[in-house]
Amino acid sequence: MRIISYNLNGIRAALNKGFLDWLKTDPADIICIQETKAQKENVTHQQFNDIGYHDYWYSAQKKGYSGVAVLTRIKPDNVVYGTGHQMSDDEGRVLQLDFGPVRLINAYFPSGTSGDLRQTFKYEWLDEFFVYLNNLKKKYPKLILCGDYNIAHKEIDIHDPKGNKNSSGFLPDERAWMDKFYSNGWIDTFRHFHPEPHRYSWWSQRFPSVRLQNKGWRIDYINATDPLKTNLKSAEIYPDVKHSDHCPVFLELSI
């Protein structure tokens, strides 16, 4: 099973930049998309079906905002929309699919960059989601959680840790949440295979040169629970794929 997680920063904009042509190269069996910024009916989604993907969408109530989707060549056994947490579900942040014994969760974590109100919401969301995941693991021990976490975990995951120590996405409490998350039975699948520095998945659009200079953050992850450790085969980040300010992250595992 080959999985890609990709924040498209607007699926319609990505389609205008060649996203469909890239899909035709068969980059993965399952493509988890965050920040669709669209309702399903706003996109000619038949074009995904025509090239062999089933498509599932969970959009925000607010049009043009947030939203997640999954394109998959493997038909899921079951699809779960949201988590039952209204503030999260109203923003279309979590979509879950079952493939045999594995539950795949596609999540778009909140950003706190717009100010204190959203940073507070982010902390509330993280706390609620942590409890939700813990409960879910009791029923589904084999979990994969992919998405834009909007957190760079360690200094190796950000180009300028000192300069960003007060930036949302690299705050001590956010990083502590990641520590708690990984110490609670989760594997950073990219770091499982790649201990090297300077591997990022997002670059600021405010300064176009930063992507050329690779001054980025690693905030996109595909993480798996410990029972899947022996199933992990390879992981990668694809910075040369450019339909967004993010790039795809990849995991291959045997099921």
DSSP letter at 217 equals: B
What is the rounded CA–CA span in Å between residue 58 and residue 72? 15
Clarify whether 226 is annotated catalytic: no
Helix, strand, coil shares of the chain as percentages rounded to 5? 30, 25, 45
φ and ψ of 121, to 5 deg: -60, -40
Best CA proximity match to 236, nearest among 172, 167, 189 = 189
What is the rounded CA–CA span in Å between residue 187 and residue 222? 9
What is the rounded CA–CA span in Å between residue 105 and residue 228? 14
| 148, 157, 188, 220: the active-site residue | 148
Q: Which residues are catalytic?
A: 148
